[in-house]
Structure 1
Amino acid sequence: MAERREENRACAAAAAAEVRCLAGEGMKSVDALLLRVRDRESSQDRFVFYVDRAIKLVVEVALGELATEKKTVVTPTGAQVDGYDFARPVAAVSILRSGDAFMQAFNACMPGSPTGKLLVAKHAGSELQVLYSKLPKNLASCSVLLMDPLLATGSTMIKSLQVLTGEYGVDPQHITVLCLISCPAGIKNVQEAFPQVRIITAAVDAGLNKEHFISPGLGSFGDRYFGTR
């Protein structure tokens, strides 16, 4: 119960900071999925299944917040219908390796949309470096979803945002960060560095433990999702 109260307080703080936390919005399906994702007894197959379902919800919510414009189409009956479509092309960038867990959901929702990948890590004890990048050339004209399941300290996310805004000219207001689980420290650090960037997360946990894992968290996402140790 204490951990649940901490999670609720963290979600409330996130809401005050203009971060959308799905677990704080009464979405019972998200709560049920996250409980199974967190359970250390969940097999890899079950973990992947529940993660994929939760991620799909996060992606759908993020797409629902993007800017739209009016558009008219003609139906097979010859009638005209007014509606709305995305105002800008939508692109997705995953932060390797764990961010690739989001790609299946994004491609299912937005088939044919541009995608890219970034690998950010410390090399030989140095500061964070971009070790690999493969990004669409037209990112500056897109609404960009930047995806990583866990937002802990925020350092990897900030480095990735620096690449998108500095090297590819993406306006921060057109970037949405997508996470499964975040913590207040990571959110704070990202927002201080990029206050215009929107963050959408399934849950906000209390903080980091002494091993720098998000707590209560879900352990090592990459190991559990990809079946590695």
Structure 2
Amino acid sequence: MSRKIAEIKALLAEMKDESDPRLTEILTDERKGVQQAVNTFQKRINAQKRLAQLFEEKNIYEKNARANGAKFIAGIDEVGRGPLAGPVVASAVILDEKSQILGLNDSKQLSEKKREELFAEIQEKALAIGIGIVSPEVIDTINILEATKLAMKQAIEKLTISPDFLLIDALTLDLPIEQEKIIKGDMKSNSIAAASIVAKVTRDNMMKEYAKKYPYYAFENNAGYGTKAHLEGIREHGITPIHRKSFEPIKSFV
């Protein structure tokens, strides 16, 4: 007796790849609904294969570092250099070379939903995660570039495993650890991409909390960047304690 199409769809949804023995019988079913379900399944599997291939391509820097003797490689990235309000947040992530996290990319290229999903997976699978947060007051004191480097150093210090190699997005740090600067590293390295996602989700969540305290600036939507709603809020209500007073658009309100 043939399985119901709904049952076959459920089976296909369970299958992780084309080696599943249950697939053989399903492929012989000529019903249109079954063939459509098989087509959907194959598209999903092909998409996973493409993501797996991309993961391997973005693992080249990590592989090179391991080939040269590194064991614990930390990817480092930051978010929040450009906003007018809020902290700069950096993250350092040491991925497990035995695990794949498919879909890692520059956090700005991902939807909020996808970032949240990957953030949870990174927390589950990474060997270590460190987060550094530098306040607007410190940014105003030492400038945003130095604040970014400080946040990165803090993130490295908070790792529960000491890294022996650093992959850093576009910067170098004065630390006694071998490192490699990679321009647009969050698009080229899985470790840096993971750090990018952790930093962005962390900072976005912080800005959503600030939005509750300071409701006139749309921080929940703009994360502190100088959007129209944010600038209107400044004109109407002035600046808040989390605004960066050294940034040009804010100076006239200080």
**Larger Rg: 1 or 2?**
2
TM-score by length of 2: 0.26
Larger strand proportion, structure 1 or 2?
Answer: 1
Q: TM-score, normalised by structure 1?
A: 0.28
